[in-house]
């Protein structure tokens, strides 16, 4: 068993010297992002939730629409989950939307409708972990709370010359400790944002712009000439292959859409009906059986349309897509899905859905552009229902 990772004493001295130049650089070079123009803790919280796993340029319009629709915690807490999904649709990682909604309810119920101003209390809210709590506490409330994300790990691993596996728990804890020392002082929120900004724009994973870096004189990796090799990470495990079928079942100009349970892969999302098959099985041989088992329908005129591939964090999905009509008189009987609806094809893109579904619909010429142009049909709207009631089948 390897010895626990520890930083040497010189690391603390190096850290003390980077704070002032880093803040000066941030003042001169920070990007003008809309959530940096507000001190509203709620707005900052929403931005931090959206920025997880998502690029800044993608987040900006979603953040603006979200705050327009839900301008405060109370309005988010009152909303139906499907209303939240409708604004979130296309941003992905829908568990973030569910967590925001649940946390807003907790804030109203347990905190008088005001977001807590300390990291410990923030971490008691659903979906708020160590990083997000530090971000909100420091940026919105000026608390001396650190945060560590991929950008911060990269910057500090290079500055301190950490040449150990950066995914090891003891290495990560050492970086959190350094970030905790660094954040102490004036402008803790700006300091945290400066670290992330430096990693996002200058100290990048490939071809870092070391000559433009405000702290290069104190950077171990720059001095050693190996900045691009840090941080050290183990090779990613290969994504496990999986195969599934999905069917465009059309009836009187409408298609069948089904909703997954709130747990598991693609939890709570809408999609074309279908199911997983073996990776070595022929999709055309299994499609009728899969649809009969999961939605209880007999199909006719089944024809293949194409296939799409979609990558999840740990899985690689090959989705074979078919078109079919239901045998007259059949009735949907769900197995493994929690709701279903017959709707216009473009309306499915207005519901919470995964990238695989979006790619499948594109095979039929249904895209986000079509959805945006289409007039909303009241029959396709998600019905409002009393809080706590189940979705209408």
Query: Which residues are the active-site residues?
Result: 48
Give backbone dihedrals phi and psi of 255, rounded to 5 degrees, phi first: -115, 155
Q: Note whether 316 and 242 are within 8 A (CB).
A: yes
Q: Note whether 115 and 107 are within 8 A (CB).
A: yes
Which residue bears the tokens 């945290």? 192
How far apart CA 287 and CA 300 sit, in angstroms, is 11
Give backbone dihedrals phi and psi of 90, rounded to 5 degrees, phi first: 100, -15
Q: Note whether 322 and 290 are within 8 A (CB).
A: no
DSSP-based three-state secondary structure for 182:
helix
Q: Which candidate, 239, 242, 243, places its Cα nearest to that of 321? A: 243
How far apart CA 256 and CA 273 sit, in angstroms, is 7
Count of positions (residues) in the chain: 393
How far apart CA 175 and CA 166 sit, in angstroms, is 9
Q: Is the dihedral of CA 222, 224, 225, 230 positive or negative?
A: negative
The number of beta carbons lying within 10 Å of the beta carbon of residue 44 is: 21
Bridge partners for 270 per DSSP: 259, 353
How far apart CA 278 and CA 238 sit, in angstroms, is 18
List, in order, residues 6 or more apart from 232 with CB less than 8 Å away: 157, 162, 163, 164, 165, 166
């Amino acid at each position: 068993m390897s010895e626990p990772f520890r930083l040497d004493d010189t690391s603390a001295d190096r850290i003390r010297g980077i704070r002032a130049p880093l803040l000066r650089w941030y003042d001169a070079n920070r990007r003008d992002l809309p959530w940096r123009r507000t001190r509203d803790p709620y707005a900052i919280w929403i931005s931090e939730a959206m920025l997880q796993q998502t690029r800044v340029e993608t987040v900006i319009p979603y953040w603006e629409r979200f705050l327009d629709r839900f301008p405060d915690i109370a309005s988010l807490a009152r909303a139906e989950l499907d209303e939240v999904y409708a604004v979130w649709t296309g941003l992905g990682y829908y568990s973030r939307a569910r967590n925001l909604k649940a946390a807003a309810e907790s804030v109203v119920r347990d905190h008088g409708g005001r977001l807590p101003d300390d990291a410990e209390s923030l971490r008691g809210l659903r979906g708020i972990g160590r990083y997000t709590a530090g971000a909100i506490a420091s940026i919105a409330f000026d608390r001396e709370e650190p945060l560590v994300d991929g950008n911060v790990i990269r910057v500090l691993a290079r500055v301190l010359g950490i040449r150990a596996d950066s995914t090891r728990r003891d290495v990560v804890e050492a970086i959190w400790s350094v970030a905790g020392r660094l954040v102490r002082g004036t402008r803790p929120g700006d300091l945290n944002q400066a670290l992330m900004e430096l990693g996002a724009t200058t100290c990048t994973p490939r071809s870092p712009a070391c000559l433009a870096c405000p702290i290069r004189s104190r950077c171990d990796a720059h001095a050693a000439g190996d900045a691009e090799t840090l941080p050290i990470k183990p090779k990613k495990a290969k994504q496990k292959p999986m195969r599934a079928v999905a069917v465009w079942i059309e009836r009187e100009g409408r298609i069948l859409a089904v909703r997954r349970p709130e747990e598991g892969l693609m939890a709570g999302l809408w999609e074309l009906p279908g199911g997983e098959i073996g990776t070595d099985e022929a999709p055309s041989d299994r499609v009728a059986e899969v649809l009969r088992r999961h939605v209880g329908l007999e199909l006719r005129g089944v024809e293949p349309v194409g296939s799409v591939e979609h990558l999840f964090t740990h899985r690689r999905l090959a989705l074979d897509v078919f078109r079919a009509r239901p045998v007259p008189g059949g009735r949907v009987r769900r197995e493994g899905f929690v709701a279903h609806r017959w709707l216009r094809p473009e309306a499915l893109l207005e519901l919470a859905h995964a990238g695989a579904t979006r790619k499948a619909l594109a095979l039929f010429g249904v895209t986000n552009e079509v959805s945006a142009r289409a007039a909303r049909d009241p029959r396709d709207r998600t019905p409002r229902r009393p809080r706590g009631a189940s979705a209408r089948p």
